[in-house]
Amino acid sequence: MKKIYLFTLLSLITAGISAQQVMNSQIPPPLDNIEKEDVRSDLEADYYSKKPINNKAFGDTLYYQQFTGGLPIGWSIVNNNPNNFLWEWDTIYKQGQFSTTRTEIKSTTAANGFMSLPVDFYNTPTPRTGRVAMDTYFESDTIFITPKPSVWVSYQQYMRYCCNSSNRMVLQVSTDDFVTFTEFDAKDGLPVNAGNTTNTVGGQTNIINISTAVANSPQFKVRFYANGIGRYFWMIDDFAVVEGVENDMELRSPYLEFNFDYAYNPFYGQIPYDLFTPLPLSGFVYNNGSNNLTGVRIEGDIFNTATPGGPGIGLVYSTSSTPLPLQSGVTRDTADYVVTNNPRFVPTVLGEFRVDMTATSDSVDGNLGNENYSQTFTTSDTIFARDDNGYGGGTGPGSYVRAGQTGGTVVGDRFGTMYVVESRSGNGGSTKIPTSITFAVSNDPLNIGVEIIPKIWSYNEDSLFTATGSIASAFAGGEVASTFIPYTILPTDTNSLLTIPLDNGTAVFNGLDSGQYVVGWEVTNTNGGNSFEVQADASSGQFQDNVTCFIDLAHSPGWGWVDVNPVIRLNLGNLTVGFNDATNSSTEFSIAPNPNNGLFTMTVTSKETVTYNVNVRNMLGQQVYTDIIAVNGTVTEQMDLTQFEKGVYFISLENGAEKILKKVVVQ
């Protein structure tokens, strides 16, 4: 799927249509994620908000409410469900089965009361398949202010939610008593199942620019509305309306486009050096102020901060986008910039790198902090990783249900995350052999005894953009790598990085062509109903593209995508032997004739005494012949594959030190 599709979609942004929404409308929605959180560890220690905490008032405080002693006069609480699961005023947090260690918000005035939605308290002891989703809001009385062109709200909140990124925790604002209203996301980029403890006070300050709804208006109302959330909590205190700034550039959705030629591409914490394609930097710049802005651009610097065994070499790359104007007011712009200055960044050394991006303009920014972004990554020899070592909790097939089906892992469940393989020199570059898959196994004891087969599937996003496109059609290329024998999870594997070698499939013998692949596992035995899961990475997960993690539930078949970032790493090796007869081995290995009719001669020469296992496998990776040979000089063997079907076969010489591979064509 080449980026020309994305360019077409980006042209819709100026018409008020999100490119991501257009893409998502052509694929299945996320599956409902119901986490077994009673046995999951907390992700919140590893979560870092994309937005900085900023407690300062930019202008006059136009209104303030600290919820002293109860629900303020004129405010109201509404529950759209026929139950008692609604917002309430309180001075304590009512704990539930999935938040037994939580306490009330540590806001500035928490002692005199705050607004609370104790979702876990309401859903205890509800079974996980019978949880009740919230549908409730609390609404202010009319708030009267001096009209201003830029109006912001600031409030302190403590939040954690489950079970889907589409759950709505929003601030709604209306100037006509909610005949119409404008809705603002209140989650502040918080991933599913992560808690917002960016500071040390049990919550954080959230700031939202509501100028598009109330600019120059003398009065309005607000609602804090929760819909769909089925786990955890939401607490709010110390709500203020303040005058906004005149000049403010906010950098939104900054992204490192590691695989720019694809509409959906992952963020990598580690990427093999020779698969690092020229890197552009992208992001949205939003005009938060009341003034029009000129000369708005994104500037990017990349630093090498460390090399293997040594210090970094410092600044290695700088770039910026073409300056453009951004309007203010009700018709304010949101601009998208892809920094395409040539040459794009390509690393020249292995090691650690830091990317600094900043939104700037010709005006002095009156709200410093939200215009900056930093991200790190590592260039490695062989490791492909989408995490940045900040992970915990757990995710896997047992965490999800579909179409009302009962959850839980069953034989045949499949789960995986996307990697894109491209040579830095373009298609047709060096071939990479998938050697193993590493799983960050969660600490859940239900992992023990489950049998899995690590697998790699071919994936082609072009199928999503056809008239009959679907996730299932994108997987039409099928399985390309796995293992012959399932692996049984041991007690020592839990809460650790587990690496399982790959020894089956065409990619193991041929290498991976340029393209998209889904790397994960299939369950072959549940050990009486247990469930395998890996840890999830919330800190880097917030930067991952949607439609890059996939699940296929055997009890409700069909591939779909889910909004989570599992820690599944792909380990690669160079194809140093094979079709072009290039080899680093001291052993010489030849086949003649090739192609043949099934009868051919295999010649192995070595100056050293060495023993090899001889294995012949078909295109499906099935072993059709095996033998052992000892070589000291030259050994010649007559091979006969005439009893097998015509096609491609792979002959390998293997021992503990090396693996030498040849392709044989039987006609």
Amino acid letter for position 264: Y
Judge whether residue 663 has pLDDT over 60.
Answer: yes
Q: Answer with the residue of higher pLDDT: 244 or 2.
A: 244
Query: Could you tell me if 192 and 145 are in contact, meaning their C-beta atoms sit under 8 angstroms apart?
Result: no
Q: Which of 136-140, 462-466, 518-522 has the lowest mean pLDDT?
A: 462-466
What's the pLDDT tens digit per position in 608-636?
A: 888 888 888 776 556 788 888 988 889 99
Other C-beta atoms within 10 Å of 528: how many? 7
Judge whether residue 107 has pLDDT over 80.
Answer: yes
Dist CA 555 CA 557 (whole Å)? 6
Q: Which of 107-111, 404-408, 428-432 has the lowest mean pLDDT?
A: 428-432
Dist CA 451 CA 521 (whole Å)? 10
Q: Comparing C-alpha atoms, which of 209, 28, 248, 234 is closest to residue 137?
A: 234
DSSP sequence for 457-497: EEE-GGGGGSTT--HHHHTTT-EEEB-SS-EEPPGGGTTEE
Judge whether residue 44 has pLDDT over 50.
Answer: no
Q: Which of 50-54, 136-140, 269-273, 650-654 has the lowest mean pLDDT?
A: 50-54
Dist CA 667 CA 661 (whole Å)? 20
Dist CA 353 CA 312 (whole Å)? 9
- pLDDT (0 to 100) of residue 578: 30
The CB-side HSE value for 231 (13 A sphere, CA atoms) comes to 25
- pLDDT (0 to 100) of residue 620: 56
What CA dihedral angle connects 109, 111, 117 and 118, to 10 degrees? 140
Q: How confident is the model at residue 382 (pLDDT cuts 50, 70, 90)?
A: confident
Q: Answer with the residue of higher pLDDT: 389 or 151.
A: 151
Judge whether residue 19 has pLDDT over 50.
Answer: no
Judge whether residue 660 has pLDDT over 60.
Answer: yes
Q: Which of 69-73, 274-278, 645-649 has the highest mean pLDDT?
A: 69-73
Per-residue pLDDT averaged across 507-514, rounded? 87
Per-residue pLDDT averaged across 17-39, rounded? 31
Mean pLDDT of the chain: 81
- pLDDT (0 to 100) of residue 241: 96
Judge whether residue 511 has pLDDT over 60.
Answer: yes
- pLDDT (0 to 100) of residue 117: 97
Amino acid letter for position 392: G
- pLDDT (0 to 100) of residue 129: 54
The CB-side HSE value for 16 (13 A sphere, CA atoms) comes to 2
Q: What is the 3-state secondary structure (H, E, C) of 496-507?
A: EEEEEECCECHH
Share of the chain above pLDDT 90, in %: 40
- pLDDT (0 to 100) of residue 42: 32
Judge whether residue 201 has pLDDT over 60.
Answer: no
Per-residue pLDDT averaged across 557-579, rounded? 75
Q: Comparing C-alpha atoms, which of 556, 489, 497, 568 is closest to residue 527?
A: 489
Q: How confident is the model at residue 471 (pLDDT cuts 50, 70, 90)?
A: confident
- pLDDT (0 to 100) of residue 526: 94
Judge whether residue 248 has pLDDT over 80.
Answer: yes
Q: How confident is the model at residue 178 (pLDDT cuts 50, 70, 90)?
A: very high
Judge whether residue 222 has pLDDT over 50.
Answer: yes
Per-residue pLDDT averaged across 414-423, rounded? 92
Q: Answer with the residue of higher pLDDT: 582 or 600.
A: 600
Tokens of residue 1, six digits = 């799927």
- pLDDT (0 to 100) of residue 449: 95
Q: How confident is the model at residue 280 (pLDDT cuts 50, 70, 90)?
A: confident
Burial 144-159 (b: 16+ CB within 10 A, else e): ebeebbbbbbbbbbbb
| DSSP H or E stretch at residue 162 | strand 151-162
- pLDDT (0 to 100) of residue 599: 93
Q: Which residues, listed in sequence order, are joined to residue 395 by a DSSP beta bridge?
A: 534
Tokens of residue 70, six digits = 């109860």
Radius of gyration of the chain (CA): 28
The answer to whether the peptide bond before residue 308 is cis (omega within 30 degrees of 0) is no
Query: Could you tell me if 230 and 34 are in contact, meaning their C-beta atoms sit under 8 angstroms apart?
Result: yes
Q: Which of 7-16, 90-99, 241-250, 475-484 has the lowest mean pLDDT?
A: 7-16
- pLDDT (0 to 100) of residue 221: 98
The CB-side HSE value for 297 (13 A sphere, CA atoms) comes to 12
Judge whether residue 66 has pLDDT over 80.
Answer: yes
Q: How confident is the model at residue 341 (pLDDT cuts 50, 70, 90)?
A: low
Tokens of residue 468, six digits = 């009959």
- pLDDT (0 to 100) of residue 25: 27
